[in-house]
Structures are given as structure tokens and as C-alpha cells.
Amino acid sequence: MHILEGLNPEQEKAVKHFKGPLLILAGAGSGKTRVLTHRIAYLISEYNVNPWNILALTFTNKAAGEMRERVDQIVGESAGDIWVSTFHSACVRILRRHIEAIGYERSFTIYDSDDQKSLMRDILKYLQLDPKKFRERTVLSAISSAKDELISPEQYESRAQGDYTKEIYARCYREYAKRLHDSNALDFDDIICKTIQIFEENEDILSYYQNRFRYIMVDEYQDTNTAQFRLISLMASTADDDGTILHNLCVVGDDDQSIYKFRGANIYNILNFESQYPETKIIKLEENYRSTQNILDAANAVIKNNTVRKDKALWTEKPKGDAIYYTRFENEYEESGCIADAIANVVSAGLAAYKDFAILYRTNAQSRVFEEKLVLHNIPYRIVGAVNFYQRREIKDLLAYLRTIENGMDDISVKRIINVPKRGIGLTTIDRVTNYALEHEISFYNALENYEYIDGISRSGTKLGSFVSLIDSFKRHLEEPGYSLESLIREIIEETGYVRLLQEEDSDEANGRIENIEELISKIVAYEENCEDEPTLGGFLEEVALVADIDNVDESNDLVLLMTLHSAKGLEFPYVYLVGMEDGIFPGYSAIMSDNEEEIEEERRLCYVGITRAMKKLSLSCARSRFRNGEQQFNRPSQFINEIPRYLLKQSGVSSTKISSSNTSGLNTTPLKPDKKTMPGIQKSEKGGALFAGNPYISKGFGTTNQSAGSVNYSVGDRVSHARFGEGTVTEMKEVGNDYQVSVAFDNEINRKMMASFAKLKKI
Ligand code: ATP
Ligand code: MG
């Protein structure tokens, strides 16, 4: 039986599982995704399940595409009926059909983060809140967390009672929800939440989907949040032939790879799956088919420091393989230069292709230096997620035209283009129209249509009028039979003069923008040609809205890939460089400072994800110093490196410029986890400076920046003064990177934690 071929006994058991909940809990690279696809094939061919009854959910379009491809190969024709999709696209499909049930129109717009920010900016202004105190991003992230937990504006408000900041957030949340609704728009979180709302309020719709999706499968289950879990558990309840209710839900995941807590991922969804569904069958897969034993040993050694996890260890029948390379470079330029060099050498020796390499880092900003060096070495590369095509100004402008045509209630889009290209409509006029719309509770576009009735805009009136007739004429044309989306976008460009103005500008930048616009036209043409159903404007906009960064990567291209650790989830590469492995970067400052073990544990899981992407060779590196936010920083190697036993590591190519420390590698000689709580304290030297006793990273010759910890002359118990907070007593000092986190009890009864280098405390 070919579906079972090449599976180990545990994998086979999972593939053959038929009814009832199944939890496949397994480490990285153990074939979880593979099992999921084979199980789909097996359900269809052996249990005669109708492909129509299967729903497979995953996180990125790329993963969904891969899964569909694999299923197509095994199942053939009928695979088309299976829904293999991301959470968001599955929900958008449901919403397009049923959203009218909760008071939206089917032509709703999906707002991206830029749109959300513009909207929040308007709201903060409307509520007369000080934008310095209340930042759009912070408010939006509070709202998003609430939505992840399915907390409505009303619930948020009642919980906020007595907490000033939260009360403000509650007002913003309420207004935000109202405005989205008025604009017939959804943000990303709404896509899930509104689907749940439809299900909860409409029993008939829910029971339709429960009967339709009789077999539900979820990959990367560890990263589901509360809302997603609610969605799945609502759907996964179907009556068997004899009437018994079954939960044919198969979830696949690795608790050690949960890395989206900041987006609300709830690790307890996987840890508590069995208690949610007591009849759950659990299958563990332990054999890893991806990496060498040395790589797995390193991964195991790091992750075992986490306390909240199900115990498991990865092993492989593969040979031990190469040691893990570890290099501490002098700075980020040396790091990126040497890596580019190494890649060039391996490829020119014919040992590997460019696409076999991935460079993984913690934060997007780290990509820039690598980009420079790769260009210098003529190495083809792609940065995943650096500048999303659809975030570019010219693309957003043209999309805003399309969105205005599709959904005139989308205020953010209409406002974006009302004066782009310039048509002499000023801010005052826009404000007047906005106020009129708010007063009359109509959309901004409706207000434009009624411009004659708006006070004080007599002179601009005709301009508003011609904008409205321009949009109306696009709408009319689109309704003509045979009028394609391509004709529409070309007409928009022609009528607005958008490209003509760029041509007149004739700068490199303008020409780049024209190329991007041509690319957009190609995408529209490709959409019309490849679309399975009837191509529509709404369909195109939806596709655009759901494109995640990783989805733009075409695997056939021979390119080195650069991406954040988060984007690398689920992928594998023969050669992996984990770069910038420094305390303060990875784990990041906020995790180190938070004093919250949970945050460090999340970073550690991210490290585990990174290590387990590597198939053949893994290289870890860090830099002694690097520029960040315009300042030179000195970082010590990441604590995660110390968690890897030394015998697994091979130190290589240590930097050319030696410093006076004897320990140039920065490696702790004992592979023990440095424990923050038992870190040695600070000893005052005779000269009044402080030296860090017993720490191999900080030697006398090291840490000589003017703001470094070396210049701190106070310690616990000393009296200090601060420019703003006045005088106080030092209660605790903790070493962080090459700095100290100082806790001070100020005399005005405020306790504060601050970084020594920024606080500029003076001993008194
Ligand atoms: P991750 O946790 O990173 O998502 P995963 O558990 O989903 O990993 P897969 O991507 O399914 O793992 O498999 C990892 C690699 O091992 C793939 O290249 C896959 O083809 C291969 N593989 C899985 N099972 C077997 C097997 N029984 N025999 C040979 N190769 C296998
Ligand atoms: Mg996988």
C-alpha cells in the first residue's frame, strides 16, 4: 500500500487513525507534517471519506500550498475538494458566504497593519488623547490581545474599571470596533473572531460546517491562540452514522516550538488537549529524519532548560555528523563577511547550491549588513519579509483605488487616495467631510457624495464632485460584461495620471515605483488567468490581503534565504547559520530584563526552532560589538550557546583582532547554565570602579565603552541620585549584557528598575 510506504510504525499508526480526537505530539523534523498529508490520503482511499469532508488548517500559505501539493500527488484529481488552507483564508471563505448574518456586507475590506494604524490615529485624535502618551501601536496591541482572548469591547470595559490606562484603551477599542464596522472592514483578528460570532449566533450555519468538515486536521497546533482553539472546537463536532457525537479532530504539534505567545498563542491548547477531549489518542514520534545527531543533541540540550514542556528527546539513525561550528566575531561586519565568504566557497567548490543555505536571525534589522556582504560576494539572496511588496506606497495607493471601488464604506482607503495624485483637496476640507460623516453617521464616501450640503467647502466642492464621478465611472465600467480587472487597473492608472507623474519625475526612485506598478499589473493578470472560480475584484483583494511574507519565496530559485527565526518555522535547510547569538539580541533585552522566566523560555523555544531547521550543518555566531540604534553595543555570547555542551561545538575562525581577554571565544569553560539569580555581585575595586567578579565574558580589557558598566561606582545599599526621580537607595543590581539593571527605592516611595548606562545615577 503506497500511502504507508516509508513510514515508521508510529507514523503508520497515526496515519491509520480513523475517528475521534488524535494528538500527535512530536519534536521537530519527526515527520508530523508528513503524517498529516498521508493521513488525508489514507482517509480518502482506505476509509472512503469524501474529500469534501476534510479540512486541513495550517499557519502560512506556503505550508498550505506544500500540503496541497503533497496531497495532490497521492490522491490525484479529487484533492481539489479538500479545504487545505490557513486559518485566515478558511475563515475569509466562510465570511464571504455568511457575514451578512452578523450585519456586514459581503464586499468587506481586510485592513492590514498600516490601515489599522491610520484608523487608530484618527481615533486618538477624535477622542482627544495625547498621542505621546497613547501610541497607536500600544493601543492596537492591547486590542489585538483582547481579541485573541475573545474579549469584546464591552467585556474589556467592565474589566477595565478603576484602571485609568485600561479605561482609555476600552474607549479606543469601542470606537475602533464601531469604525471598522461602519467601514465594512475587518482587521486580521476579526477574521477569526467574526467567524466564531457567526457560528455562535447561527446554529444552522454552524451545523452546516460541522457536517461538512467531518475530519479536521491542524498543523503547528502549538501556535493556536484561544480564538483559534474556540473556532476549531466549535467546528469539530459531528454526528456519526449512529448519531453519536464525534470529535474527529487531529492536531499535530510540538510544544517546544510554540513561538507566537506575543500574538496570543496559548501553549496550554496543546498541553491541555487531552483534558479537553478525554477520549484523545496520543501518538508520539521521536525519530527525527531531518538532522544529524549532533544537531539534535544541541537542540535537546538547549530545550531541556525549559520547565513548562512535555518531556521528549529527539534522536536519529543518522550519523553524528559534523560538529556545530561556533564563532565569536569582532563585530557584525566581520560576522556577515565571513559567512558570505564561507557560502561562496562551499558553492564554488560544488558542494552545495545557494538555496541550501539559510541565515536566520532574531530581528529583521539584522539583515541589512548581511545584504551588503552578499551583494559584495555576488551571492544571490532573498530576504523574507523585509519589504512586503504590498506595503509599498505606490502599490498601497493603487490598491486603495481598487478597495474604494469594491467597498465605498472603507474610509481609510478613500481618505488615502482622495488627494493622491494631488487634486488640490486640502486637509481642512478632508476634516470637514470627516466631521460631516461622523455627525450624520454615514461613510466618508457618502459624505463626499453629499458635498453640496457640507458647510464651508464651497470652493473645493467641485473637486470632491469630480473625484466621486471618477470612482463612479470605474464602478460602472467594472459592471460591464467582459471588462477585466486588468482593464480596470490600467484605466485607473491612465485616468489618475499616476504613472505619468512618476515618468515626469524620472528619478531612480520613481522608475523603481513604475516597475512595481508593472509587477502589480502582472499579478492581476496572473490572478485572472489562474483563478479557479470566476475572477472578481473582491477575490483579488482578498488574495492580496492574506499573503504572508514567506509566501513570496519561490523554491525553484537558487538563492540564499535570509529570514527571522519566526519565519523559518516548519522549513528545513542543509546549511543553517544562526547569527547574532548574543544576550540582548537573542534572547532579547526585554526577555532578559522582564525577570519573567516565561519570556526566556519562549526565546529558548525559538532557539530550538532555529537549531532544528538544520539538516547537515549548523553554524552559530555572535559579535563582540555591534551598532544598534546608532550606538555601539558590547554583548556577551547568548546564554543559549552556554547551554550546548562544549564537546558538540567546534570553535572556528576566531576573530583577527584580539582583545586583551584570554578567553576570546567567550565560551564559558563549564557548560553550565548561567543563573541570573546566583550571578556574582559587584565588587568595588580600589579605584572606585566596579569589576565583575568571576564572569568570563567581562574582563578588565573588555567593556570599555564610555557608558559601560565599568564606570559604575555604586553598589547595593549605596545612596544615589537621579536627575528626575531624586534621591534613593540601591536595592538590587543585576548584570545584563554589558550593563547593569539597577533597582532603586527612591525616597518618594517609587521603586524603579533602570539600566545603569541610561539612568546616569550619581553616588551621593
Ligand atoms: P517541524 O516540527 O519542523 O514542522 P515535522 O515534524 O513536520 O517538522 P516533516 O517536515 O514532516 O517534520 O519531516 C521532516 C523531514 O523528514 C522531511 O524532509 C520529511 O520528508 C522527512 N521524513 C519524515 N518521515 C520520514 C520517514 N519515515 N522516512 C524518511 N524521511 C522522513
Ligand atoms: Mg511540520
Ligand index nearest the alpha carbon of residue 610: 1
Find out whether the beta carbon of 289 lies less than 6 Å from any atom of ligand 1.
yes
Q: What's phi and psi for 649, nearest 5 deg?
A: -100, 145
- Percent of the chain with pLDDT strictly greater than 70: 89
| Closest C-alpha among 712, 716, 713 to residue 739 | 712
For 403-422, what is each residue's pLDDT tens digit?
Answer: 999 998 999 999 999 999 99
* Inter-helix orientation angle 136-148/113-126, to 10°: 110
37 CB near ligand 1 (under 6 Å): no
> 8 CB under 6 A from ligand 1?
yes
Query: Scanning the structure block, which residue is given the C-alpha cell 566557497?
Result: 345
Task: Give the pLDDT confidence of 591-619 residue by residue, as tens digits.
Answer: 888 878 889 999 999 999 999 999 999 99
Instruction: Choose among 300, 259, 362: nearest CA to 622.
Output: 362
Residue found by looking up cell 495620471 in the block: 497
Ligand 2: distance of its center to the CA of 543 in Å? 24
Whether the model clears a pTM of 0.85, i.e. scores above it, the answer is no
Ligand nearest to the CA of 285: 1
Going by alpha carbons, the residue nearest to atom 30 of ligand 1 is 289
pLDDT score for 577 = 98
pLDDT at residue 691, as a whole number: 24
How far is ligand 1, taken at its centre, from the CA of residue 41, in Å?
17
- Ligand 1, atom 19: closest residue by C-alpha: 31
What is the residue type of 508? D
The CA distance from 483 to 486, in Å, is: 8
Nearest atom of ligand 1 to the alpha carbon of 220: 4
Residue scoring higher pLDDT (628 or 214)? 214
- pLDDT value at 756 more than 50: yes
32 CB within 6 A, ligand 1: yes
Give the DSSP per-residue string, 663-708. Answer: -TT---SS-PPPPGGG---EEE-TTS-EEETT-TT--TTS--STTS
Can you tell me which atom of ligand 1 is nearest the CA of 613?
Answer: 3
Decide if pLDDT at 680 tops 50: no
pLDDT at 695: 27
Strand positions, DSSP E, 541-637:
560-564, 573-578, 614-628, 631-634
Split at pLDDT 50, 70, 90, the class of 549 is: low
Residue 32 CA: which ligand is closest? 1
User: Strands 238-239 and 381-383: what pairing?
Assistant: unpaired
**Side chain identity, residue 500:** R
Q: What percentage of the chain exceeds 90 in pLDDT?
A: 60
**Catalytic residue positions?**
32-33, 219-220, 257, 613
Q: Is 585 a residue whose pLDDT tops 70?
A: yes
- Ligand 1 contacts CB of residue 34 (under 6 A): yes
Gap from CA of 318 to ligand 1 centroid (Å): 13
As a whole number of angstroms, the distance between CA 171 and CA 174 comes to: 5
Residue 705's identity, in one-letter code, is T
Ligand 1 contacts CB of residue 60 (under 6 A): no
Ligand 2 centroid, distance to 572 Cα (angstroms): 9
Nearest residue to 615 (alpha-carbon basis) of 359, 342, 379, 318: 318
Q: In the predicted model, is pLDDT for residue 184 greater than 50?
A: yes
Q: Is the CB of 416 under 6 A from ligand 1?
A: no
Cα 90–93–97 angle (5° rounding)? 145
| Angle between the N-to-C axes of helices 393-406 and 508-530, in degrees from 0 to 180, rounded to the nearest 10 | 40
* Residue 712: pLDDT over 50: yes
**Would you give the DSSP letter of residue 323?**
P
Ligand closest to 573 (CA) is: 1
Find the angle CA(179)-CA(181)-CA(184) to the nearest 5 degrees: 110
Q: Is 570 in the pocket of ligand 1 (CB under 6 A)?
A: yes
pLDDT at 142 over 50: yes
Q: Does the CB atom of residue 308 touch ligand 1 within 6 A? A: no
**What are the b/e assignments for 77-116, b being 16+ CB within 10 Å?**
eebeebbbbbbbbbbbebbeebbebeebeebbbbbbeebb
Ordered DSSP codes for 480-543: STT--HHHHHHHHHHHHTHHHHHHHH--HHHHHHHHHHHHHHHHHHHHHHH-SS---HHHHHHH
Cα–Cα distance for residue pair 695/583, rounded to 1 Å: 14
Quote the CA–CA distance of 185 and 518 in Å, as a whole number.
28
Ligand 1 near 29 CB (within 6 A): yes
Higher pLDDT, 477 or 741: 477
- Residue with the smallest CA separation from ligand 1 atom 27 is 7
- How many angstroms is it from 283 CA to the middle of ligand 1? 15
Minimum-distance ligand 1 atom for the alpha carbon of 35 = 11
Q: What is the pLDDT of residue 653?
A: 56
Looking from the CA of residue 11, the nearest atom of ligand 1 is: 27
31 C-alpha to ligand 2 centroid (Å): 7
Pocket residue to mutate for ligand 1, from 13, 222, 289, most atoms within 8 A of Cβ = 289
Testing ligand 1's pocket by substitution, the residue of 284, 290, 292 carrying the most ligand atoms inside 8 A of its CB is 290
Which residue's CA is the nearest one to ligand 1's atom 14? 29
Count the helix, strand and coil residues of the chain and give each as a percent rounded to the nearest 5.
50, 15, 35
Judged against a pLDDT cut of 90, whether residue 671 lies above it is answered with no
Closest ligand to Cα 258: 1
DSSP letter at 582 equals: B
338-376 b/e (C-beta count within 10 Å ≥ 16 → b): bbbebbbebbeeeebebbbbbbbbbebebbebbeebbee
CA distance 607 to 586: 8
- 290 CA to centre of ligand 1 in angstroms: 6
Q: How far is the CA of 547 from the centre of ligand 2 (A)?
A: 20
Q: Which range is most confident: 378-387, 464-473, 651-660?
A: 464-473
Q: Is 569 in the pocket of ligand 1 (CB under 6 A)?
A: no
Residue 613 Cα to ligand 2 middle (Å): 11
Looking at residue 1, what is its pLDDT?
52
Q: Check residue 260 and give its pLDDT.
A: 84
Region 242-256: mean pLDDT is 92
Mean pLDDT check: name the lowest of 107-121, 164-178, 672-686.
Answer: 672-686
Nearest-CA residue for ligand 1 atom 2 is 28
Residues 743, 693: Cα–Cα separation, whole Å: 20
**Is the pLDDT at 705 greater than 50, yes or no?**
no
Instruction: Note whether 665 and 673 are within 8 A (CB).
Output: no
Which grid coordinates are listed for 265?
498563542
Residue with CA nearest ligand 1 atom 4: 570
Nearest to 281 by CA among 252, 309, 256: 252
Distance CA 58, CA 253 (A): 11
Q: Compute the mean pLDDT over every residue in the chain, rounded to the nearest whole number.
A: 86
The arithmetic mean of pLDDT across residues 329-346, rounded, is 95
Which pLDDT score is estimated for 554?
A: 66
Angstrom distances, CA of residue 47 to CA of 43, 44, 55, 508, 654: 5, 6, 16, 60, 59
Is the CB of residue 33 below 6 angstroms from any atom belonging to ligand 1? yes
